[in-house]
A and B are shown apart, each in its own frame.
Chain A
Amino acid sequence: MGMGTQAGITRRNLLCAGLGGAVALRAAAPEKSRVVIASDPALRATFASPESARVLKLLDRAVQSFYAADSPLAAWKKIARPNEVVGLKVNCLSGRGAATSTVLVEAIGERLQQAGIPARNIVVWDRLNSDLESAGFQPASRKDRIRCLGNDSAGYGMDLAVFGSAGSLLSNTLTKTCDAVINLPVLKDHGIAGVTLALKNVFGAIHNPNKYHVNAGNPYIADVNMFPAIRQKIRLTICDAISAQYEGGPSYMPQWSWSFNGLLVARDPVALDYTGWQILERKRAEKGFKSLRDLHREPLYIATAADSAHRLGTNDPQRIDLVKV
């Protein structure tokens, strides 16, 4: 009996079958996007500032859990290498009350330094120096310490970034100064876009954010996130949900704010936005407010960001690995 007529399992067939199966399995079960919600109910009982040490512990818990690292420091070392310049994109437009907490930013700065990144390589930035000041940050440009820069002092580059319907100049801080960026939005409602979280927070990196609020920011918010410098440099999103706002945003409205006392951490901005949106919807329902869909400001840009033209992440709850710690 010749080998050529033998109807059996050959080594080649076996390898092909195995490889094909592995590919099929991989396609069938894509990797889930992890979103960690870390909370500390005692963090901020009133509208007073949260305690630094508690925020640090909460932050460690969130980041360690997200990276499934052995220690917080090991987790922080995964974010950036010591020779990299790390930007902390805060959200300051609405001033104190609805801005990224200075206590949280200080905690992140401290941990980054412990992870080997020198203070001079950490840049806190947002659109305007006046915005930073109104949120409690002190603009500083000395290069021997943590810098704090508004785009109005750092300037915008001359190269137009274009994707879909969006065309913008990008902040020099993002394109020239920083190697990596940690996005630090706030969990809050947005009067036009529905919610403003990870995806919307990058509007602070472009020169013309006012152009992109038409049609509830859809598809502009997703398009802006497709700019290569934004997509490639944002390594992690830590959403400040210590104090959150479910109505009246993005301006600070204390009557519609509450102490969520938590942080949302994710690498997938779409998954984080979807998760945050659901938190806000639940709070709205609890307080007797209509849903964003009923108010015609459902954040459709989140779905756009997940579509095949963008693929910025997933908004499918089945594909979000939600971890609460």
Chain B
Amino acid sequence: MTLRTLRRLSQILFLGLFALFVCTAALRNPFLETDPFIAFTNALATHALYRGLLWSLAILIPTLFLGRFFCGWICPLGTLNHWAGNIRSVAKSGRRRIQSNRYQPWQAFKYYFLLALLAAALLGSAIGGLFDPIVLAARSLALSVLPAGSYSLAHAGPLSYLLFSPQAHFRQGFLLGLLLILILALNFRITRFWCRALCPLGALLGLVSRWSILGLEKNQDQCGDCNRCLLHCQGGDDPIPGAHWRKSECHLCMNCVADCPESGIRFRFFSRTSASATAPNLIRRKLLTGVAAGAAAVPLLRANTGLDAEPHPRRIRPPAALNERQFLARCIRCAECIRVCPTNALQPALAEAGWEGIWTPVLAPRIGYCEPACTLCGQVCPTGAIWQFTAAEKGWAGTAAHPIRLGTAFYDRGRCLPWAMATECIVCEEWCPTSPKAIYLRPAEVTDSAGNAKQIQQPYLDPERCVGCGACEFACPVKGEPAIHVTSVGESRSPTNQILLRRAPKSVDWLPDTGDAPGWTKSGETRQFDPAGLWKYIDGDAERYLRAGVRRTLTATYRYRNTVEAVVDIHLMASPAAARAFFESEPAVGSRPVPLDDAARTYGQSLTFRRAAFFVRLVAYQDTPQTAPALLSLARAIDSRLTATNAITES
């Protein structure tokens, strides 16, 4: 087996592996993790020792010995370019083909470009990721080629059964596909133009390869000047006799070795050929220009609006994304998060994140919403722009004190069916995934267009609970512009992109502990309910409390000397007047007043009292001679607790 055959097998193998990682959700793409250019970019941009630097040694160390083997044997975009370059074209026929594979001075452009991108990284922008070949291939395949393939399969009649997932749609999918096609089409003119002239990773590896110990040996005596070694040369590295072989350009494709009819070309370690140029041919002035261009690019990009000034309201980042500056320093636009998003909610940005943020991920709630239990974007992000969060840290399904917020939803009451058209609709509330729900309903009497009075439920949003997942906007049945839309304001990652709201009310426990009342043991945990979730505790009766303006309800069970079990409910009403009205609305038949707080009555087996804005109910399950006095002692302990806390003044 020749080295060329081995190289071909390697290309097929690695391209297959790459495709597998692109097609498989939840698998971190090791090609991205080990990409040295990404590693350097992130290390410079974050000014930190980046984990990827270690992994990139898997590429860099072999490059030190072998040269740019990665470009010829592994790089998936290189392989695609290689295959495209093999397609016959008029521009590369006959002598022009040989001429096109000679080294050209413009091939040095990629080094200046690399320096420009690294300079931009040093100033805090990972925009260089846009041009990384691995990133480019991953992004193009995921956002353009695969969706197009899904569409084709879905419309391929019997073959449609092969389609195991619904087709995703991505903004700019066409543009990204066109860009890939353009890069591949350039091969019709010049073989691997991208790799020779533009690729920053190729340039980096070219710089490192100057120390490689593997070199080309040309046997001038055997050469018949047939130039066949140039026919399929991938790097434009001049393997022909009489010219300097350019180590930093060679992809080790082994075509020259295989094509030489005289077997006059071979690679060997520590070769002693004198006709080679180990370092790229760079001009200092151009190097400085490259650095200056990169250094100027970042301030220029940030002179634009969209980052600090006038951030786009739809710049809704994935959950656990770092704050915007750190995010831009890490996000390489690989689209891994966009690819794995199960609801198709993440989309490549165009204008939402400013010029610098092009193709970074943003949530598009009209297309999809952020699934509460999903953590895939964090799992696959190769650079930590989205940290590896857990569902518990996301905190949407439970009662996490500080859930990750992507933004906040706002109603457009001019379009909302219950508000604008007296039509029943509770879809947004149904879809709201938080617990308790951020969207709650209030009954209202409205008049329809025919003048009929009708009772419907109108939705409201509690911004303290909204996490900006976009489910409400996604599900809103109002076509066109939705009646509810999510903006990034309130996102957890930004201390400034906030509206003046009090988040996470202070946790209080007005219920006495064991021993606070003689003989009483607290036998269950305190459960707390807000108005929207009160129905979970007292379904059916909750409305009575809601009408009275209940703000919060706490409940717990107690046991008195193993003879009486009781449940205590403390309701904080909107005002002392509301508590009084509620207290007085309950029938007093069969009760007698007891001296406690503002007003209290006992029914023997139960006791109710009010204090300021609190309404308290104690209910015992056993009717014993001790029940009534025991309940009274527990009520007094509750009263002491309510007095001791500053809850009353708070209310």
Show the binding face of A for B, using Cβ within 8 Å: 46-47, 93-97, 128, 165, 190-193, 196, 200, 203, 208-211, 213-215, 247-256, 287-289
Contacts and interface: CB of A to CB of B under 8 A. Distances in A.
Contact of B620 (A94, A193, A249, A254): A254
B540 A254 contact: no
B540 A255 contact: no
A47 B627 CA distance: 13
A288 B588 CA distance: 11
Contacts of B623: 46-47, 254
Contact of A190 (B426, B540, B603, B621): B540
A191 B605 contact: no
Classify chain B: how many residues form its interface, as a range.
20 to 34
A254 to B, nearest CB: 4
B619 A213 contact: no
A209 B539 contact: yes
Interface in B616-644: 619-623
Q: Is the interface of A mostly helix, strand, loop or mixed?
A: loop
28 contacts: A46-B623, A93-B538, A94-B538, A97-B619, A128-B536, A190-B541, A191-B541, A191-B543, A191-B544, A193-B540, A209-B539, A210-B536, A211-B457, A213-B535, A214-B456, A215-B455, A247-B587, A249-B540, A251-B538, A251-B541, A252-B619, A254-B603, A254-B619, A254-B621, A254-B623, A255-B605, A256-B587, A288-B589
Contacts of B480: none
B535 A214 contact: no
B589 A203 contact: no
A159 B89 CA distance: 57
B443 interface: yes
B441 A211 contact: yes
B527 to A, nearest CB: 9
Given A47-B621, A213-B542, A249-B541, 19 more contacts: A46-B623, A47-B623, A95-B567, A190-B540, A192-B543, A193-B540, A200-B540, A203-B539, A210-B536, A213-B535, A214-B443, A251-B538, A251-B541, A254-B606, A254-B620, A254-B623, A255-B604, A255-B605, A288-B589
B15 to A, nearest CB: 39
B541 A214 contact: no
Q: Which of B443, B539, B565, B586 has the most CB of A within 10 A?
A: B539
Contacts of B620: 254
A97 B424 CA distance: 37
Contacts of B619: 97, 252-254
A94 B555 CA distance: 13
Contacts of B426: 211
A255 B544 contact: no
B590 interface: yes
A196 B443 CA distance: 21
Nearest to A98: B619
Given A214-B443, A288-B589, A192 B622 contact: no
Given A97-B619, A196-B540, A214-B443, A255 B535 contact: no
Contacts of A214: 443, 455-457
Given A93-B539, A255-B603, A248 B621 contact: no
A213 B424 CA distance: 14
Contact of A255 (B424, B443, B565, B606): B606
A46 B430 CA distance: 44
Interface string B518-550: 000000000000000001101111111000000
Nearest to B454: A215
Nearest to B565: A96
Interface in B256-306: none
Contacts of A251: 538, 541
Given A255-B590, A255-B603, A255-B605, A210 B535 contact: yes
Contacts of B539: 93, 203, 209-210, 213, 250
Interface in B454-473: 455-457
B448 to A, nearest CB: 15
Contact of A250 (B541, B590, B606): B541
Nearest to B544: A191
B645 interface: no
Interface string B72-97: 00000000000000000000000000
**10 shortest A-B CB distances, which residue pairs?**
A255-B603, A254-B605, A210-B535, A191-B541, A47-B623, A250-B540, A191-B544, A251-B541, A214-B443, A192-B543
A247 B590 CA distance: 12
A199 B569 CA distance: 28
B589 A289 contact: yes
B603 A289 contact: no
